[in-house]
Amino acid sequence: MASLNQQPIHHFLFIPLMTRSHLIPFTDLAKALAHHGQQVTIVMTPLNAARFSDDYAINFNLNIQFLPLYFPAQEVGLPQGCEAMDSLPSPDMATKFLQASNMLQQPLEKWLQGLDSLSLPSCIISDVCFPWTSILALKFNVSRVVFHTVSCFTLLCSHNIDHYKVFDERDKSDFEPVLVPDLPDRIEITKAQLPFFGKNKALDDSKKVLKQFKEAEASAMAVVVNSFQELEPGYVKAYQKFVNNLWCIGPLCLYNKTTRSEASIDDHKSLNWLDSQKPNSVIYVCFGSLFHIFDQQLMELGLGLETSNCPFVWVIKEGSYTAELDKCFITHCGWSSTLEGIIAGLPLITWPMSNEQFYNEKLIVQVVKIGVKIGVEKPMKAPEVLVKKEEVLKAIKQVIDGGEEGEERKKRAKKLGEMAKMAVENGGSSCSNLTSLIHL
């Protein structure tokens, strides 16, 4: 990415949600800004600060610092040392985790009060789930930007479902497909496939929280999204109507060549084995760091992969991504992993598990048409088997030997990967939007 000329120098204060799928893109954005002379302070908890200092070599002569704040896990009933959402013993504890995260407001405000006028941040960039950052921005007279680590497709679907009260009828089945109104494409979704807050619209607390999120977003000076214009132009244009400025600035991992991805390999034997394989021959499997697949389901997946007679690598931990060897990517449709597959120019086999992943699957399969569904229609719960080995094999064959349709899918995936890389280059859409953020 080329340098930006005649740019102002700002001090950005980042306030991310403490989970890997948010911390990674926040850190990537910090590096992108710091590479252009900007100062960045990232609010962290002590354990996350230690982890990301090591993982990302944050001190590469860049003006980035971590602000470690005590995380009140035990005060809200979480286990001691539970400082990241991806380390929660149960997804049911997510509400408590958000409660603890909101308690960071007071110590952060105290830190800001201790700064002189020259040291104060000039802009706060926060996760959407922290509406209290609008209070800080007003109190200290700084601009505020909301950062979304999901796609504009997801944002627009969520907005329209809420606006048109699609699932407000209490008697609606959890598994009845319902049309999402007013989208550029015909998209149906079931109540079971909605993210956590979407499923609980009947609860007064959830309605209140969602309203706070929306109000904080609407009052922000800008909204930035880890996506790129060419991926979802109709959804970018449609969502722009609801915010002051909407800038796609991704894929952020392309700004940061040292980033370890969500879907990557870091094992000497595995890398040696990959080096021995032919280009575009390996099936790549990764389900991120947040979700646990139970034994019976693991067995079915393994048998399906084995029956395909294709070499495959199943990634459990992070390391160095080697996409040039791969022919397709079996993914849980986490947004970071989805972007990595898109960048690699690979057709995707989609296996959503929770959160916004069912939205991402619909974007991949129905909108940009670079993926094949493995057949999951609801979130995974222990200890059920949602996908049989035969379904795994069917999806693999559909991608690898899909005839004319399969070849067109591969061409679209390759072209989209090229467009993703061009977006962050000099003159690209995301690079230009990053300039707009710096000049805000």
Per-residue pLDDT, 170: 60
pLDDT tens, 43-65? 999 999 988 875 554 556 789 99
Distinct helix (H) and strand (E) counts, the chain: 16, 14
pLDDT tens, 363-376? 999 999 999 999 99
* pLDDT of 132 strictly over 70: yes
Of 249, 255, 228, 212, residue with least CA distance to 56: 255
- The DSSP bridge partners found for residue 285 are 314, 330
* pLDDT of 120 strictly over 90: yes
Distance in angstroms (rounded) separating the CA atoms of residues 178 and 370? 23
State how far the alpha carbon of 381 is from the alpha carbons of 58, 256, 332, 352, in Å.
37, 35, 14, 12
Task: Place 259 in a pLDDT band, splitting at 50, 70 and 90.
Answer: very low
Q: Quick check: helix, strand or coil at residue 305?
A: helix
**Domains plus CATH for the chain?**
11-69+104-255+424-438 (3.40.50.2000), 268-421 (3.40.50.2000)
pLDDT tens, 407-429? 999 999 999 999 999 999 999 99
Tokens in use for 197?
């807050």
403 compared with 44, residue with greater pLDDT: 44
Task: Place 206 in a pLDDT band, splitting at 50, 70 and 90.
Answer: low
- Produce one character per residue of 396-427: b if its CB has 16 or more CB atoms within 10 Å, e if not: bebbbeeeeebeebbebbeebbebbebbbeee
Q: Quick one: average pLDDT of 92-108?
A: 93
336 compared with 3, residue with greater pLDDT: 336
Per-residue pLDDT, 265: 43
Torsional sign, CA 413, 415, 418, 423: negative
Select the highest-mean-pLDDT range: 125-129, 252-256, 279-283, 293-297: 125-129
- The residues, ordered by sequence, that sit 6+ positions from 153 with a Cβ below 8 Å of its Cβ are 232, 235, 359, 360, 362, 363, 367
Per-residue pLDDT, 182: 98
9 compared with 108, residue with greater pLDDT: 108
Lowest mean pLDDT among 6-10, 135-139, 392-396: 6-10
